[in-house]
Amino acid sequence: MDERKSRQDWLAAGLRALATKGPDGLRIMSIAKQLEVTKGSFYWHFSSLDAYLEGLSDHWEQSHTQEAIACVERMGGDAQTKLRHWFMGAAASDLVLDRAMRSWSLVHAKAEEVQKRVDQKRTDYLVALLRAAGRSKNEASTLGRWSYWAFVGYSTLEGQAVSEKEIRLILSVLAPN
């Protein structure tokens, strides 16, 4: 067995377990088995299961919100271009994991706290982009909230992927030229 797994390895494995097995998959021994390490490897990086679950929530927030926003910002362009990048990225994201996190947040206080914070950050980012695209403060707030809520609904459904043509239509409504 390779005991040299990093904290990041454990966090990535935890997100995979959450996505595939739900909150019940977040067991030290089952994740250790998946990583082909012993339980001791876990305690090298985390003091307890609670510390791990907190780290897992924070890792999801960082990797699926903060890094997503930073990526869109690095890609550059005007507000409409950034909105397009945001929607394309959201449509291509791991919706299974988003559903699992939202489900977990219903039964775990730290996950709920992080989910609320993520929802607010994502909504705030959309609102800021809509403001930069020329929408009034009230319009941007309403459209930003509603488009995020639509994404949350979309993420709960297992259906056809959103096409680039559909995203162009959505953007033409949200931020017309």
d(CA 135, CA 177): 11
User: What mean pLDDT, rounded, does the chain reach?
Assistant: 92
Residues 27, 53, single domain; the answer is no
| Residue 3: predicted pLDDT | 58
d(CA 70, CA 171): 20
Number of domains making up the chain: 2
| Residue 4: predicted pLDDT | 75
pLDDT in tens, 8-23: 999 999 999 999 999 9
| Residue 1: predicted pLDDT | 46
CATH of the domain at 117: 1.10.357
Cβ-Cβ contacts under 8 Å for 165 (sequence gap 6 or more): none
What average pLDDT does range 142-159 have in this prediction?
90
Residues 98, 122, single domain; the answer is yes
Residue 2 has pLDDT above 60, yes or no: no
Residue 100 has pLDDT above 60, yes or no: yes
Give me the helix-helix angle, 67-75 and 79-92, nearest 10°.
140
Residues 81, 126, single domain; the answer is yes
d(CA 143, CA 130): 8
CATH of the domain at 8: 1.10.10
Of 104 and 4, more confident: 104
What average pLDDT does range 129-157 have in this prediction?
94
| Residue 40: predicted pLDDT | 87
Phi, psi of 154 (to 5 degrees): -60, -40
Residues 117, 159, single domain; the answer is yes
Residues 36, 80, single domain; the answer is no
Residues 57, 31, single domain; the answer is no
d(CA 119, CA 90): 13
Residue 158 has pLDDT above 80, yes or no: no
Residues 40, 54, single domain; the answer is no
What average pLDDT does range 69-80 have in this prediction?
96
Residue 119: in which H helix or E strand, if any? helix 109-132
Residues 73, 159, single domain; the answer is yes
Closest CA to 92 of 164, 4, 40: 164
Residues 151, 68, single domain; the answer is yes
The domain in which residue 42 lies consists of: 1-46
Residues 138, 63, single domain; the answer is yes
